[in-house]
């Protein structure tokens, strides 16, 4: 296989989701979200972190006092007089360290709970929100990219919450405390430290600016790689059929090389940072030692808040504080890249959560109903197999309309984008119990019409009425509950055959599920499975044939027992013999229901009450099978084979 060269990436700004820089408000929003998740535990954890950070800054003060006492005893020659004071200071320091140990152990344990709990709640929040997104979102975004939210992006949050944020807080408090003590002891030496810190900040900024853009790109390319892998796994049979393995490997190498390029460069710059800051800290340590020694020898006055003169008790603790200060800055700088990656992941997650949910302004609901003696309908709690639309009017009155399955399109226009209309002036009706078929070449608009019935998409103009009610007024969940759909591409879920059939109606009993399978003609092959209805399916029913999977989809629609059925190429994957079996079941299933059928096999639509022939989003012919044959137009040519469907 030909090697894929790693090419330089374009020098565009580092991006996250949607090609934008991660905004500054992401960290604020993340912290706010964490407080929403853990309003009590998080403040307790922050207090423990504060105690731990403050105590870590105190040894310099104790060391200064101890050295001052030792210096005093050296000058006086009376060690016994000061030994008690030193032991007292040591005892106090031990108490502080015990408190710090308890606080440190507490906050690490709490952070484990907060981190994993926050990730769990974040995944729940994302998944819950994802269920409310419109179909359009999934049609326009790669599934692998969406999966990356739950893997790569959530993992960067784990590192940000559990490691980076606590380290930043501890280091920040330590820096503030240590610098305050430095200024208290000696403003002159503190000024030298400030100069060193400025050098460290500029160095850190120069390095992190270079590394962060690659880490951000790495996050985006990881999502791209997951989308690519998902696509390759889904299409593995196609890849093998067309001997596309080498080309797939080459394509993967390109995606993998992007990850390698960004990760290599990001880590290359990040790995420079700590040695660079460490050496600047060492230089600063040497300069402080030389400056402190020179000031001691020269007897120069000390400028400080404490008012103490230069002495060995100031210089020695100052050297330790310099090391501690440089180490804290190093810790902060070491976390910057992880923070950038975490914020990139958080930005992508919040971008998902900010996606506009599917709008539903419907107020007409579907309820169980019973027929009164006078023929009117009233709502009831028990299941009666009679359904009604509950319409609450603006004046407060409530009316009930029997669910019958009367569907009418009037002058409907539709486009997936405002710039391009794909359906033009669609007018049709299907009375209760009628079977309406759509025929036409690929892209003519057949499936689009059925997508409008269940409001996967909303129309641009015109009206669609269901039992005389504008479907925009019907609550989407209730509208879809009244429709049964069998798609050309069958989706089966991990679980038993029985569970997959029951997916159409979660309240259905085993007996009802078996009856639905018998109606669809699926019972025969199910009985021959290793465990019958308890056979477990995985991988979208990979252990079943395409025809068997389609039969289960038909059974799933049958158990829902809806008044309206939409069959989108429902028998396209079934052989001729099986089709005859299924057709009998389908006829029984369609009996008394309004049915919309999309079919390439014209033999399956001959008994339709009306056949609509579509071309480029327009209905060009309509009528019964016999009427259209007499017309000798497009349908006639399709039926006789003079014209092939694309």
Residue 7 lies in a domain: no
Is the model more confident about 585 or about 163?
A: 163
Question: Quick one: 307 and 433 in the same domain?
Answer: no
Question: Quick one: 472 and 526 in the same domain?
Answer: yes
Question: Quick one: 348 and 443 in the same domain?
Answer: no
Q: Residue 27: is its pLDDT beyond 80?
A: yes
Residue 4 lies in a domain: no
Which range has the worst mean pLDDT, 110-119, 216-225, 404-413?
A: 216-225
Max mean pLDDT among 134-138, 398-402, 544-548 falls in 398-402
> How high is the pLDDT of residue 582?
65
C-alpha 101/C-alpha 53 separation (Å) is 11
> Which DSSP string corresponds to 477-524?
HHHHHTEEEE-SS----SEEHHHHHHTT-TT--HHHHHHHHHHHT-HH
Tens digits of per-residue pLDDT, 183-240? Answer: 888 888 888 888 888 888 888 778 877 777 787 788 778 878 877 887 787 777 677 7
Question: Quick one: 326 and 375 in the same domain?
Answer: no
Q: What percent of the chain has pLDDT over 90?
A: 19
Which range has the worst mean pLDDT, 156-165, 351-360, 539-548, 615-624?
A: 539-548
Question: Quick one: 217 and 336 in the same domain?
Answer: yes
H or E stretch at 427: strand 423-430
Q: Residue 22: is its pLDDT beyond 60?
A: no
Tens digits of per-residue pLDDT, 66-100? Answer: 666 666 665 555 666 566 677 777 787 788 888 88
Question: Quick one: 318 and 461 in the same domain?
Answer: no
Query: 149 near 222, Cβ under 8 Å?
Result: no
Question: Quick one: 385 and 330 in the same domain?
Answer: no
Residue 149 lies in a domain: yes
* CATH code where residue 310 lies: 1.20.1560.10
Q: Residue 12: is its pLDDT beyond 60?
A: no
> How high is the pLDDT of residue 335?
80
Question: Quick one: 283 and 419 in the same domain?
Answer: no
Residue 451 lies in a domain: yes
Residue 3 lies in a domain: no
Which range has the worst mean pLDDT, 207-216, 421-430, 518-527, 591-600?
A: 207-216
Question: Quick one: 438 and 395 in the same domain?
Answer: no
Which parts of 38-79 fold into alpha helices (H)?
41-57, 59-76
Question: Quick one: 264 and 384 in the same domain?
Answer: no
Averaged pLDDT of the chain: 82
Question: Quick one: 606 and 626 in the same domain?
Answer: yes
Query: 344 near 303, Cβ under 8 Å?
Result: no
Residue 6 lies in a domain: no
C-alpha 625/C-alpha 550 separation (Å) is 26
**CA angle, 570 as apex, 521 and 509 as ends, to 5°?**
45
The SS3 of residue 567 is strand
Question: Quick one: 518 and 593 in the same domain?
Answer: yes
Whole domain around residue 346: which residue ranges?
A: 17-353
Residue 398 lies in a domain: yes
The average pLDDT across 463-476 equals: 93
* CATH code where residue 534 lies: 3.40.50.300
Residue 429 lies in a domain: yes
How many domains, in total, are found in the chain?
A: 3
> How high is the pLDDT of residue 360?
86
């Amino acid at each position: 296989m030909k090697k894929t060269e790693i090419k330089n990436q374009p020098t565009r700004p580092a991006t996250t989701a949607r090609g934008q820089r991660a905004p500054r408000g992401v960290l604020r929003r993340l912290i706010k979200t964490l407080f929403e998740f853990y309003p009590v535990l998080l403040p307790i954890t922050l207090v423990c972190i504060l105690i731990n950070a403050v105590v870590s800054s105190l040894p310099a003060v104790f060391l200064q006092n101890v050295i001052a006492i030792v210096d005093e005893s050296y000058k006086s020659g009376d060690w016994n007089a000061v030994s008690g004071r030193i032991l007292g200071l040591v005892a106090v320091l031990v108490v502080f360290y015990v408190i710090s140990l308890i606080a440190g152990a507490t906050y690490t344990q709490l952070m484990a709970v907060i981190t994993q709990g926050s990730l769990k709640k974040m995944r729940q929040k994302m998944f819950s929100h994802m269920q409310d997104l419109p179909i359009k979102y999934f049609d326009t975004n790669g599934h692998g990219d969406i999966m990356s939210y739950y893997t790569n992006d959530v993992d960067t949050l784990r590192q940000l919450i559990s490691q980076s944020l606590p380290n930043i807080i501890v280091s920040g408090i330590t820096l503030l405390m240590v610098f305050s003590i430095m200024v208290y002891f000696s403003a002159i030496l503190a000024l030298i430290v400030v100069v060193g810190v400025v050098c460290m900040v500029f160095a850190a900024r120069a390095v992190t600016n270079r590394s962060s853009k690659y880490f951000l790109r790495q996050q985006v390319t990881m999502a791209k790689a997951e989308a690519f892998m998902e696509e390759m796994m889904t299409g593995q049979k196609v890849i093998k059929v067309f001997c596309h393995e080498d080309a797939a490997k080459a394509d993967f190498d390109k995606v993998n090389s992007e990850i390698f390029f960004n990760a290599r460069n990001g880590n290359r710059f990040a790995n420079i940072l700590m040695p660079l800051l460490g050496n600047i800290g060492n230089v600063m340590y040497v300069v402080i030692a030389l400056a402190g020694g020179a000031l001691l020898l020269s007897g120069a006055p000390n400028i400080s808040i404490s008012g103490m003169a230069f002495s060995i008790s100031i210089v020695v603790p100052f050297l330790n504080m310099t090391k501690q200060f440089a180490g804290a800055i190093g810790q902060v700088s070491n976390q910057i890249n992880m923070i950038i990656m975490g914020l990139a992941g958080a930005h992508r997650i919040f971008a998902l959560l900010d996606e506009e949910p599917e709008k539903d302004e419907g107020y007409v609901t579907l309820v169980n109903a019973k027929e009164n003696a006078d023929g009117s309908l009233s709502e009831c709690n028990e299941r009666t197999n009679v359904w009604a639309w509950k319409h609450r009017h603006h004046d407060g009155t409530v009316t009930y309309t029997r669910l019958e399955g009367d569907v009418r399109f009037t002058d409907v226009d539709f486009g997936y984008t405002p710039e391009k209309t794909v359906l033009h002036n669609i007018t049709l009706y299907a009375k209760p119990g009628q079977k309406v078929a759509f025929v036409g070449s690929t892209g003519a608009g057949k499936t689009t019409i059925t997508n409008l019935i269940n409001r996967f998409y909303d129309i641009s103009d015109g009206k669609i009425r269901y039992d005389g009610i504008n479907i925009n007024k019907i609550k989407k969940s209730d509208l879809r509950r009244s429709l049964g759909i069998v798609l050309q591409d069958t989706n089966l879920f991990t679980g038993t055959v029985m569970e997959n059939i029951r997916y159409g109606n979660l309240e259905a009993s085993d007996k009802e599920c078996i009856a639905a399978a018998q109606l669809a003609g699926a019972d025969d092959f199910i009985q021959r499975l290793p465990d019958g209805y308890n056979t477990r399916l995985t991988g979208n029913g990979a252990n079943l044939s395409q025809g068997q999977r389609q039969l289960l989809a038909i059974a799933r629609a049958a158990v829902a027992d809806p008044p309206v059925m939409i069959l989108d190429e429902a028998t396209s994957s079934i052989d001729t013999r099986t089709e005859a079996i299924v057709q009998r079941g389908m006829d029984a299933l369609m009996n008394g229901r309004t049915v919309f059928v999309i079919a390439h096999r014209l033999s399956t639509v001959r008994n339709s009450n009306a056949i609509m022939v579509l071309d480029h989003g327009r209905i060009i012919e309509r009528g019964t099978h016999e009427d259209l044959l007499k017309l000798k137009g497009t349908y006639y040519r399709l039926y006789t084979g003079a014209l092939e469907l694309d």
